[in-house]
Amino acid sequence: MYRLTTRTRAGTATEIAVFVLVPAGLALPAVTSRGVIQDLFFILTMLTLAQIWNLLAGYGGLISVGQQAFVGIGAYAMFAGVILLGWNPVAAILLGGLAALALAVPTAFFAFRLQGAYFAIGTWVIAEVTRLLIAQWKALGGGTGTSLPREATSNIMGTDAIQALFGVREAAARDILAYWLALALVVVVTGCIYWLLRSRLGLALAAVRDNVEAAQSVGVDVGRLKWAVFLIAAAATGLTGALIFVQTARISPEAAFAVTDWTAYVIFIVVIGGIGTIEGPIVGVLVFFALRSALADYGSWYLMTLGLAAIAVMLFAPKGLWGLISARSGLHLFPVRRRLAGLKIEGGN
Q: What is the pLDDT along the chain (349 residues), one digit of tens a residue?
A: 666 667 778 888 999 999 999 999 999 999 999 999 999 999 999 999 999 999 999 988 899 999 999 999 999 999 999 999 999 999 999 999 999 999 999 999 999 999 889 999 999 999 999 999 999 999 999 999 999 999 999 989 999 999 999 999 999 999 999 999 999 999 999 999 999 988 888 888 888 877 888 888 888 888 899 999 999 999 999 999 999 999 999 999 999 999 999 999 999 999 999 999 999 999 999 999 999 999 878 878 888 999 999 999 999 999 999 999 999 988 889 988 766 665 555 554 4
Any domain includes 348? no
Q: What is the CATH number of the domain that holds 228?
A: 1.10.3470
Tell me if 235 is assigned to some domain: yes
Total length of the chain: 349
pLDDT given at position 274: 95
Could you tell me if residue 349 is inside a domain?
Answer: no
* Sequence-distant (≥ 6) Cβ neighbours of residue 289 within 8 angstroms: 39, 42, 43, 46
Residue 302: what pLDDT? 87
Angle at 263 between CA 143 and CA 117, to 5 degrees: 110
The CA distance from 194 to 18, in Å, is 13
What is d(CA 56, CA 158) in angstroms, rounded to the nearest whole number?
33
| Structure confidence at residue 145 (pLDDT) | 95
Is 308 a member of any domain?
Answer: yes
pLDDT tens string 88-144: 999 999 999 999 999 999 999 999 999 889 999 999 999 999 999 999 999 999 999
With 0-12 / 13-18 / 19 or more C-beta atoms within 10 angstroms meaning exposed / middle / buried, residue 146 is middle
Task: Let me know the angle formed at the C-alpha of 181 by 178 and 183, rounded to the nearest 5 degrees.
Answer: 110
- State the Cα torsion 104-105-108-110 to the nearest 10°: -120
For residue 342, being part of any structural domain is answered with no
pLDDT value for 349: 46
Distances (CA, A) of 204 to 11, 222, 227, 233, 239: 22, 8, 13, 17, 26
127: left (phi over 0), alpha (psi -120 to 50) or beta: alpha
- Segment (H or E) for 103: helix 89-111
Number of neighbouring beta carbons within 10 Å of residue 39: 16
Which range marks the domain in which residue 203 is found?
3-337
Please indicate, yes or no, if residue 346 is contained in any of the structural domains.
no
The answer to whether the CB of 27 falls within 8 A of the CB of 200 is no
pLDDT of residue 337: 75
Number of domains in the chain: 1
343 belongs to a structural domain:
no
**Would 230 be classed as within a structural domain?**
yes
- For helices 89-111 and 117-134, the axis angle rounded to 10 degrees is 130
